[in-house]
Structure 1
Amino acid sequence: MRTLCSSTLIGEFFVIGFAGLVAMKDPGLSMSTVWTVSGIAMFLCLALCGVVTRPGGVALGWALQIALVASGVFVPTMFFMGAVFAALWWASVHYGRKIDEAKARFADQADASTTPDAA
């Protein structure tokens, strides 16, 4: 799960950076505000890569997805991009867990086949 979720978060890191560039063109937003918010969100993407498998990591990822969709208020394209990344986040979590379960099952089978029978 960690690899899939981290890949999604790294993709979001770049999208948030590009959205910051687009938001700079809005005369109603100051450059410092845009880059403070974008910088914090980009940092969260990187930080979540390290804690995604810890308790609450996936929930924090969902909070980031919601914030990304909500950023569409300022950069309308982010409604679409946020929805795409929310779908990717769901797929990363869902299929990542299935992959982790399969790896654990295969490891158990490998341990069982190398352990001599007691009989």
Structure 2
Amino acid sequence: MRNPKRVLAASTLVSEALVVFFATLAATALHREEQGRYLVAGGVLVLLCVLCAGLLRSRAGYVLGWALQVVIVASGFVVPEAFRWTMVGIGVAFAGIWWGCLHIGERVEREREQVARGLADRSGSEG
């Protein structure tokens, strides 16, 4: 059975990678003289999101995920001013989604364990 916390967190990171990719394209269109810088920074963030989704089998993946949330929110302050608060808002929204996915995933894991223990107790008492 799949780990619900990992599935939710990985889905969030992959979705975030797509949003960062499209935001990078928009930022380069708005600020032509910084195109190279934005493309490299956005590309690195996209790759880190995807890499982090693959690392979620260990605690390091979740720590990197939190670090990415901070970096993505902070990236809103280095894009063109016309795009700044949109990026900060997107970063904050994804940080909230990330937090929610981790907490909901942990709750589902606990409830699965309780159900499994209850079923084991029940089948043990019937035998």
TM-score, normalization by structure 2: 0.82
Unaligned 5+ segments in structure 2 are none
How far residue 22 of structure 1 moved from its aligned partner, in angstroms, is 1.2
**SS of equivalent to 2:32:** coil
Question: What is the total number of aligned residue pairs between the two structures?
Answer: 117
Aligned to 2:34: 29
Unaligned 5+ segments in structure 1 are none
Aligned to 1:112: 121
How far residue 27 of structure 1 moved from its aligned partner, in angstroms, is 3.0
How far residue 82 of structure 1 moved from its aligned partner, in angstroms, is 0.3
Q: Deviations over 1:36-93 (max 9, x none)?
A: 2212211111122122241222221111001111111114111000010011011011
4+ long deviations beyond 3 Å: none
Quote the sequence identity (%).
Answer: 31
Q: Deviations over 1:19-46 (max 9, x none)?
A: 1101212134132x22222122111111
Match of 1:16 among 8, 16, 20: 20
Match of 2:105 among 84, 96, 99: 96
Match of 2:72 among 68, 72, 85: 68
In the alignment, the residues of structure 2 paired with residue 56 and residue 95 of structure 1 have an alpha-carbon distance, to the nearest angstrom, of 19
Higher helix share: 2
Q: Provide the aligned C-alpha RMSD in A.
A: 1.8
**SS of equivalent to 2:76:** helix
Structure 1 residues 14-23 or 47-56, which shifts more? 47-56
